[in-house]
Chains A and B, each alone.
Chain A
Amino acid sequence: MAQNDRTAFVMRDRGWHPRPYAPAYKTTVARSPQQSLVSLQTPTASELTGPDFDNFVLGPVDNDLLLNFRPGTDRDGLPIGERIIVYGRVVDQYNKPVPGTLVEIWQANAGGRYRHKKDAYMAPLDPNFGGVGRTVTDADGWYRFRTIKPGPYPWPNDVNSWRPAHIHVSVMGPAISTRLITQLYFEGDPLIPLCPIMHTLNDPDAIDTLVARLDKAGSRPMDSLAYRFDIVTRGALQTYFENQG
């Protein structure tokens, strides 16, 4: 956006975000910095700008995970699993829509298996499911994907750790200050309170904001259930440099 270099953002609340060092999630022990982060008292254009994706060319089924792994095939080629619509709005902390932001998702298939060279879980790959999607929010901040509900999967942490069903969600833009990668969970999943990665969050309300809600009204009869997941990015403080006088 043209105004990028005139906008600063509400300070990031690092007590609300997950703790970088969280020993119950074992990989964090060797991968979390031990020194304090250095706070920038005066953000510069380097932090207050970022790529804008208005002219980035997306494919017609990039946001349709039911079709995008084998585009052009007919209904026989659909993935196995619960068909769902995942949609919502990207807004900032002042509830202002964030248009033109790149939303990217990736997920396991219905059996909990990722299409990744390094995933060796015994659940089979689905020949009709890649598990990746992307879209750009519209003028009012809305985004929308069609996919299948991912399955939970085991992972090597404790001897018997399972991830709740989840979709990884990346939001890029308008500035690198607002860069965010998070995960979407599903209402009612009994694995949520048992997950060591959820326990990296201090506040139960923070977990709650990552749980997509079943939206019966948004579902398509005889076709797909809908889940609503709104994403909040850092609040834009306008005309920052002008105020510096």
Chain B
Amino acid sequence: MTQPTKDGGLMYPESPSQTAGPYVHIGLALEVAGLPPRDDEIGPTIATTAAEGEPIEIVGTVIDGNGDAVEDILVEAWQADANGVYQTDFRTDRAFRGFGRSAPGENDAGQWSFQSVKPGRVTHPNGGEMAPHINLMLFARGINIHLNTRLHFDDESTANAACPFFNGLPPSRRDTLVARRESDGETARYRFEIHLQGPQETLFFDF
């Protein structure tokens, strides 16, 4: 169960993941389960309209290998603020929170959504600026260990083309990470379809 480390100590194995199951909402998205919310909940508002930056809405569905929407999906999002800084101090009394959770309700046909602001560019450790992106994590019944992906923006093609991260990915699969701007107005809405399998399978990361 343990293996020696370089310094002669013992290293324990990480606790193994298990599926979040069909009732993940009871614990992490109470209203979707039908439970009364507590005073402070982590919800689909990553940033309010009072936060600095361009207000955006992200909507999407997760499609399984049969072509069906995964209606029990729980999506978590983590992003930098409009200046490209990760704000790690999470509190719901702030306009910019950086972290959110979203799950489709009963009548949403599997569609989830987040309210946020367009993230800024984050510096890559090897140099250069990464294109604006949102980190997403997916949890559901039948997903034994959560899936990590990134959402990029189709109206940031210059930033995407110059992004040291994006450009390191297999060219044929980069497009699976790009959300489409589908409406303007006060809050631009982007749609991001995630495919778990098939010819359009979304690129998932191991990190």
Spell out A's residues near B (CB within 8 Å): 1-2, 4-5, 10, 12-14, 16-20, 22, 25-35, 37-40, 42-47, 49-59, 62, 91, 93-95, 104-106, 114-119, 130-132, 134, 168, 170, 176-177, 179-183, 197, 200-201, 205-206, 208-210, 231-235, 241, 244
A18-B144, A94-B9, A106-B26 given as contacts; is B197 within 8 A of A34 (CB)?
yes
Bound: A203/B73 CA distance, A: 28
Bound: A177/B141 CA distance, A: 21
Set B24, B68, B97, B207: member contacting A168, Cβ < 8 A: B24
Q: Are A176 and B12 in contact (CB-based, < 8 A)?
A: no
Cβ of B3 to closest chain A Cβ, rounded Å: 10
Set B10, B16, B24: member contacting A209, Cβ < 8 A: B16
Q: Are B133 and A32 in contact (CB-based, < 8 A)?
A: no
User: Helix, strand, loop or mixed for chain A's interface?
Assistant: loop
Q: Knowing that A56-B92, A93-B11, A232-B14 touch, tell me 16 more A-B residue pairs with CB under 8 angstroms.
A: A18-B17, A29-B142, A37-B204, A38-B173, A39-B207, A40-B206, A44-B122, A46-B130, A50-B88, A51-B99, A57-B92, A105-B27, A176-B148, A181-B20, A197-B144, A244-B125
A35-B201, A38-B203 given as contacts; is B15 within 8 A of A209 (CB)?
yes
Q: Which of B45-69 contact A (CB under 8 A)?
A: 64-66, 68
Binds A, one of B30-38, B110-118, B153-161, B185-193: B30-38
**Which residue on chain A has the smallest CB distance to residue B1?**
A205
Measured between beta carbons, the chain A residues less than 8 angstroms from B170 are 38
User: Helix, strand, loop or mixed for chain B's interface?
Assistant: loop
Set B22, B89, B206: member contacting A52, Cβ < 8 A: B89
27 contacts between A and B (CB under 8 A): A2-B88, A4-B86, A5-B86, A19-B144, A32-B144, A33-B204, A34-B198, A38-B173, A39-B206, A42-B126, A50-B88, A50-B99, A51-B78, A51-B90, A55-B89, A94-B9, A114-B26, A117-B34, A132-B26, A132-B27, A132-B35, A181-B18, A181-B24, A200-B18, A200-B144, A205-B13, A209-B16
Cβ of B137 to closest chain A Cβ, rounded Å: 6
Q: Are A1 and B88 in contact (CB-based, < 8 A)?
A: yes
Identify which of A1, A22, A35 gathers the most chain B CB atoms within 10 Å of its CB.
Answer: A35
Measured between beta carbons, the chain B residues less than 8 angstroms from A34 are 65, 197-198, 201
Q: For this complex, into which size category does the number of interface residues on chain B fall?
A: 35 or more
Cβ of B42 to closest chain A Cβ, rounded Å: 8
Measured between beta carbons, the chain B residues less than 8 angstroms from A179 are 76, 137, 146
Bound: A91/B139 CA distance, A: 23
> Using an 8 Å CB-CB cutoff, how does the interface string of B145-173 with A read, 1 for contact, 0 for none?
11110100000000000000100011001
Cβ of A128 to closest chain B Cβ, rounded Å: 14
